[in-house]
Amino acid sequence: MPYHQYDYIFALGIIFAFADSYGIGANDVANSFATSVGSRSLTLGQAVILATVMEFVGAVSAGARVTSTIRNNIIDINLFKNDPAVLMLGMLCALVGSSVWVLGATKLRFPVSTTHSIIGAIIGVGIAAGGTDAVKWGWKGNGVATVFASWGIAPLVSGGFAAVLYLGTKFGIMERQNSTMLALWSGPFFFFTTTAILTMVIVYKGSPNLGLDKLSGQTTALAIVLTALVVGILAILFW
């Protein structure tokens, strides 16, 4: 039976969800493409088009598990089982808080994370509605502790990979006598490796509705290699 008295919560939720998405484009996506646009590898228009396509594809293909974590593993939704309207209102407040903060920070030119913002907002809603016990602080079930740990580990891991790639490129390609030829030969390899990693993420962490987790190991490996090989060949043709 529909509860039409709560239609306003749904309508406002849609509005502020769009506002939060706008903030993602204005802040998070801008962070991702800043180096490409700044180095003039891409124009601003090209970056906008690529971001639009990639954000949609990423959300559909690999966003389900992140959505599940934010929906189920930050606060205990069972506390709202007898009063789901409070949960609806709480999630609306979280969207309002996250979108206002991200848009305000973007206006002030602060590079902030929309993920940090929405998770912090949901934690605040949980504490306000059910006290500190309403928040899943522990490690079990990918709780808040796991999320916080990933925020600390991710910069270290990405920084390590970036350092290795930079040093390898600098001393293995740029400072060699035949650097131009080496760069032309190594470009498709980087495309191949990047595509293989992204394909692997989609296969193992993609939406359960895609059924990719049901593929056999041989089929999965073949799909990863062939997808990366196609991109590598295209890189050779257009590099």
Q: What is the largest CA-CA distance in the chain?
A: 74
Predicted pLDDT of residue 1: 54
Task: Read off the pLDDT of residues 22-74 as tens digits, 9 standing for 90 and up.
Answer: 888 888 787 788 888 888 888 888 988 988 888 888 887 777 777 777 877 88
Residue 2 binned pLDDT confidence (cut-offs 50, 70, 90): low
Predicted pLDDT of residue 5: 77
Residue 235 binned pLDDT confidence (cut-offs 50, 70, 90): confident
Residue 15 binned pLDDT confidence (cut-offs 50, 70, 90): very high
In whole angstroms, what is the distance from residue 207 CA to residue 221 CA? 18
How many C-beta atoms lie closer than 10 Å to residue 56's C-beta? 11
Is the pLDDT at 163 greater than 90, yes or no? yes
Question: What's the pTM?
Answer: 0.75
Task: Read off the pLDDT of residues 88-129 as tens digits, 9 standing for 90 and up.
Answer: 888 899 999 999 998 998 888 888 888 888 888 999 988 888
Contact by Cβ (8 Å): 37, 47: yes
Is the pLDDT at 155 greater than 60, yes or no? yes
In whole angstroms, what is the distance from residue 194 CA to residue 231 CA? 10
Predicted pLDDT of residue 213: 67
Predicted pLDDT of residue 209: 67
Is the pLDDT at 144 greater than 80, yes or no? yes
Section 74-98 average pLDDT: 85
Predicted pLDDT of residue 239: 67
How many C-beta atoms lie closer than 10 Å to residue 126's C-beta? 24
195 vs 142, residue with greater confidence: 195
Percent of the chain with pLDDT over 90: 11
Section 141-164 average pLDDT: 86
User: 62, 6, 81, 9: which is closest to 213 by C-alpha?
Assistant: 62
DSSP 8-class letter at 5? G
User: 77, 155, 61: which is closest to 116 by C-alpha?
Assistant: 155
Section 132-146 average pLDDT: 80
What mean pLDDT value characterizes the chain? 84
